[in-house]
Amino acid sequence: MADTTIATGDAVAVKRWDPKFVKQANKKIFFASMTGKDENNIVQSKLDLTKGPGDRITMPLFPRFSGAGVQGDVDIEGNEEAITPQSDNVSIDFYAQAFRVGGLLTEARSPDDLRRAAREQLSIWLGEKVDQLGFDAIESSPTLIYSENSDTLVKSGPTASIVAADLIEPHMASFLRHAANTQSPKIKSIKQGGKDVFVLLMHPHCAYDMKNDSTWQNFHRDADVRDAKDNYLFKAGMGTIDDVLLYEHENVAVATTWGAGAVYGARNKFMGAQAMALAWARFPFLVEKRFQYGTKWGAMVGAVLGFRKLVFDSKDFGLAELRTARTSLN
């Protein structure tokens, strides 16, 4: 039996699309704007696994110093502040999706259109998959919960007490921002432009309620008087309240049976530094290939990664859940 070889450039050979696909796919990821390599990000990205073997990565978690330090001619040795670092592990897995054209006749009708469409749709799928992994992580077993009850946020409050009028309001973002320092562990802010910044991620129905609140409308109108390009209020998805950046996404979890059993609700998320970790073992890649003696064409996108909500001493490290009612727009 003779070995069959495939020469470089042969139509049957596997081909990788250019590296621009990685950037294209990254633009489809909702959490991309919140992600960075260091601790000063909502999502801390770790790339250690791209450099060697392994199926998990360890994330060190350090609480911030609480002491005042030393001042003047005081010995530093012997006056160090003890902190208790911990760690959390992020496991990885392989995720992929593929597309195959029916045959030469189908491909011959519009080969370029088919390949462009496949590339676009596969990049959208990958972005949505990464986002879903992130939302799955932050939805799992929350340890810090605030529930609205008659315009007041109650820590660990029951959802049975939420009524239809308990919609999200602007003051709640400010409340959570100032409550962040009282938590154990503290929800650390993102240091950005000399400000202590947090993120409030809402379901679109709650974003609708926020935008229809008169306090929000007045705040937004007054800010609009200034140049929008230079106003950091407009640099987030919806705006900013008391240095809390507001975002919305349809993947935020919802409920339909709160209160007495018929209140529509949402599990919105208030997030600070290192709320989540994203570990990459292999960055997104896209491959095209021919099958059936070259008569069929297909493409696959894949990535090896892991997304995890970081936990410190059995408690969420940088996240609080805000449970409110919502207007149902279904």
Tens-binned pLDDT, residue by residue, of the chain (330 aa): 444 343 444 443 444 444 666 677 778 899 998 999 988 999 999 876 655 556 777 776 666 666 666 676 666 776 666 666 666 788 889 999 998 776 666 555 555 677 788 888 899 999 999 999 999 999 999 999 999 988 889 999 999 999 999 999 999 999 999 999 888 788 999 998 888 999 999 999 999 999 999 888 887 776 655 544 554 445 557 888 899 999 999 999 999 999 988 999 999 999 999 999 999 888 888 888 888 777 777 888 999 999 999 988 888 989 999 999 999 998
Amino acid at site 232: Y
CA distance 1 to 23: 44
* Residue 12 pLDDT: 39
CA distances from 324 to 175, 270, 293 (A): 14, 13, 58
CA distance 244 to 200: 6
For the chain, how far is it from start to end, CA to CA, in angstroms?
Answer: 64
Q: How many Cβ atoms are within 10 Å of 153's Cβ, its own excluded?
A: 21
* Residue 10 pLDDT: 44
Q: Strand 195-202 relative to strand 244-248: parallel, antiparallel, unpaired?
A: parallel
* Residue 227 pLDDT: 45
Instruction: Answer for the pair 34, 43: CB distance below 8 angstroms, yes or no.
Output: yes
Side-chain half-sphere exposure of 130, counting CA atoms within 13 A: 28
Q: Taking the C-alpha atoms of 27, 31, 34 and 36 in order, what is their torsion angle to the nearest 10 degrees?
A: -70
* Residue 8 pLDDT: 40
Tokens read off for 215: 């306090």
Amino acid at site 313: D
* Residue 20 pLDDT: 67
